[in-house]
Structure 1
Amino acid sequence: MRKIILSAILIALLVLTFFSNFIFTGQAVSKESIKFDTGDTAWMIVATALVLLMTPGLGFFYGGMVGKKNVISTMLQSFMAMVIVSLLWVVIGFGLSFGPSIGGVIGNPIPYLFFQGVGVNDSWSLAPTIPFLLFALFQAKFAIITPALVTGAFAERIRFWAYLLFMVLFILVVYAPLAHCTWHPDGLLFKLGVLDFAGGTVVHMSAGWAALAGAIFLGKRKVQKAPPARITYVLLGTGLLWFGWFGFNAGSAMGANGLAVQALATTTVAAAAASMAWVFLDKIMGHKISAMGACIGAVVGLVAITPAAGYVSIPHSIFIGIVSAAISNFVVLKFPKGKIDDALDVFGCHGVGGMTGMLLTGVFASKAVNPAVVDQGLIFGETTLFLHQLVALICVSIFAFMASYFLFYIVNKITPLRVTEEKEELGLDITQHGEFL
C-alpha cells in the first residue's frame, strides 16, 4: 500500500507540474521589469543560502549528540526537511503563509499554487527592493528548518516514514498559520503590533512546543541513553548554525542596510554572551566547562535574540543572551527527564529560548534602533508592546502544543510513530535505513 501511495504522489506531481500553466492561472506577472536594488538582491541571495546552511548544521548538531547507532537517521531527518519542505513550499506552503489573508489566520493558497504568480518582476509589499521570487525562497528556508528542530525531541525512537508525514502536516497546520499571523501585513498578530523580527514565535516557539508534544506522546526511550557519538560534530554543527544565523537574522532586514548590520551585531554578541553564561553557570554549579555546554549556550543565545535582533541595542542583546542562557540552563537542569523524554532538550533550549526572546523584545524594543517600532519596550516606560508580546506568547504556545499533539495522534493512527523495542535496541541507522557508521 505504501508503494502505491508513493507512486501515486510522484505521478500526480509530475502531471501537475507538466500541465501547471493550464491548470493554475495564478496572478499575472507584470511584463515590465521593476528596477530592484542590486545590493539588496545580492545580499538576500546570500542570506537565503546562509539560512539553508543552518539545516545541515542542525543535522551535525543533533547527530553528534545522539548515540552512535542513530547518527545517520538523526542527520537524515534534517536533510529530508530540505527535500520535502522545499517542494511543499512551492506547491502550497507559500500560498498558505503569504497568500491573500483569510481572516488574518491563513493565506489563500490558490493564487500562488506551484509558485504561479511568484516571479522576478514583482515584489512583496514589505520587501519592495528585491524580487518576489527571492522573498519566497528566503522564507522557504525558515519553513525547512522548523520541523527539523522538532526532531531532537523524539530522537532515537521514531519511524522515518511517520516523521515525514508529521513534517508535512506540521508545515500545513502549524507553521503556515503562524507565519501568516505574524509576518503577513493582514495577519492577526502583525496587526496587533506583535514584534518577531526573524522567528521567535513562528520558528522556535512552534518547534519547542511541538517537541514537547512529541516527547510526551511518544513516551520514553526503552534503551538506556548512550553517550554522544561525536562531540566534534556538535562543535561543527554549532559553527554552521552560528554562521547561517547571520542570514537568518540579518537577512530578515530584507536588504543590505543598516538594520541588517544591527541584526548581525546583536546576533553575534547575544550568542557569545549566552555561551559564556552557560559555561560559567556550569562551573558555578560544580561541573566542568564542556564543549557541549558552550555549544548549547551559543545556540540558546541565537534563539533568544532572533525575535529581537532588529529591534534592540547591542548592550541589550548581551543582556538577552545572558538571561536566556540562565533560564534555559535552569529548565534543562530541572526538566522532569524521568517522566518526559525530550532527548536533546529541544523545548528547554528552543521553546524556552524563543519565549524568553519574545518577552525581552517587549522589554527592550527601541525606536532609536528601528523606526518601525510603534510601541517601545517596558524599559522606555511603555507597556503596550510587552502586553502584546505576552498575549502572543500565550496564544502561540497553546496553539502550537495542542495542534502538534493532535498531529502526532493523527499520524499514529495512520502509521505507528515508534519503532519496536527490538529496532530501538539495534538503532535506527540499520533498521530504518540499512546503513551504519
Structure 2
Amino acid sequence: MELKKKENNENKGFLDKYFRLSERGSNLKTEMLAGLTTFIAMSYIIFVIPGQFLVAAGVPKGAATAATILSAAVATLLMGIYANLPLAMGPGLGIGAVFAFVMCGSMGLNWQTALGAVFISGVVFFILAVTNITKSIIEGIPKVLKSAIGVGIGLYISFIGFKNAGIIIASKGTIVGIGNLKDPATLLAIIGFIIICILMARNVKGAFLIGIVLTTIIGMFMGVAKVPTSIHDFISFIPPLPTDTFAKLNVMAAVKYGLVSIVFTITIVDLFDNIGTIIAVSGKAGLLDENGNLPGINRALLSGSFAAMIGGLLGACTVTTYLESASGVAEGGKTGLTSVTTGVLFLCALFLTPLTALVPGAATAPVLMILGCLMISEIVHINFTDFTEGMPAFLTLIMMPLTFSIVEGMSFGFIAYTVLKLVTGKHKDLNPIMYALSILFIIHLVIA
C-alpha cells in the first residue's frame, strides 16, 4: 500500500505536487479555466479603479492604469504561490473610495502622501497578522457592526457612482438633487446601468466587463467616448510601467499628518475586506475545517499585508482580496494555480492599457452604482428589534454616505454601540477590543 502511494506521488507533475491538485480533487485544466473565469469577472477594475478613483486623486492616468494592473498581478501571484488559495487580489473599491474622496479629498492629502499611508497600513497589517492580533480584532468586533460596515460601504460606493454619472448633483435647496438626464454622458451612464443590470439578471459571466465594453461602444456613437483611429489605440507592443508613481510614496508626510486618522481607517477596512472575502470564498471552495476556520489562514493574511505594501509602492490604493474569486471557485478552482493563472492574465493585460483611454467615466460609473445592491444584502443580519444593536448599525451605514466618509460612519456606529450597551447594563456584550476602538474613534472625531 505504501509502495503504491509512493509510486503515485512520483507520477505526479511538479504543479500537481506543489499546488496539491489531486489532494484537493482538482486538475490542471480545471484550475486554468477557473483562473480565466476569475480574470474575466474582475478585469473591470482595470477601467474602474483608475477612472473612478486614482485619477480623481490626482494620479496620472497612464501610471494609474499600469499600477492597477501590475499590483493586481503581483498580489494575485503571491496569493497563489505562497498561500495556495484560489483568491485573486487587486486595488479595492472601498479602499479606492477612501483613497480618492477621503484622504485626497476631504483630508486634503496629495496622492504621494496617501500612498505613504497605504504602505504604512500594509506594514501594520503585517505586524497584526504575524502577532495574531488580526484575529483578536476581527473576533472582538460585534457581527452586527461588521454587517453594517459592509452595507455602509456599499451605499457609499453607490453614492459615488450616481454622483460621477451625473444622475445626482449638489443642490442648495435640498443638498442633493437630480441631474440633467438629457446630458449625453449622464444618459450613457443610465444606458450602461440598464445593460449591466440585464446581464446580471440573466447571470451572464463577466457582466461588468461586457457592460463596460458595450457602453463604451455606444458612447462612441453618442460622441461621449473616443473613437479609435489605429491599432495603437488597442494595444501597446511595449508594456507600460508605472514610472510616474513607482516609489513616489511619501511615508514621512503620512506619519506627520497622523497615523490614527488615516492608517487606522485603511487598516480596519482592509482587514474586513480580506477576512470576509477569504472566509467566504474558501468556504465555497470547501477548504474550511469542521469549525468553519481556514487552515493556514495566516499565509493568506500575510499575502494580503504584502499586497497592501505593493499597492503603495507601485502607486495604487490598497490591494485586497476580491469576492469575484468566487466565480473561479464555482468553475472548480480549489488551489493557488487558479490565482497564478489569473495573475498571469493580468500581466498580459498590461499590453492592452491603451484601451483604458477609450473608456469614458460614464461607462464605469454604473459598476459603482450596482455594487451597493450587491453589498446591501448583509443588512438581513442586523437585528433592528434590539435598539442597542439596531441604532449603532443604522448610524454606521447611514453616516458613511451622508458624511462622504467611511471612517466617520464607523466612528458614530462603534461609539454608539459601546455607549448604549453600557447604559443599558449590557456590558457583557462588550470586550477590551471594543473599548479600545471606541476610544480611538472618539480621539479621531475630536482631532478631525
Bigger Rg, structure 1 or 2: 2
TM-score, with length taken from structure 1 = 0.26
Instruction: Tell me: higher relative CO, structure 1 or 2? Use CA pairs within 8 A at least 6 residues apart.
Output: 2
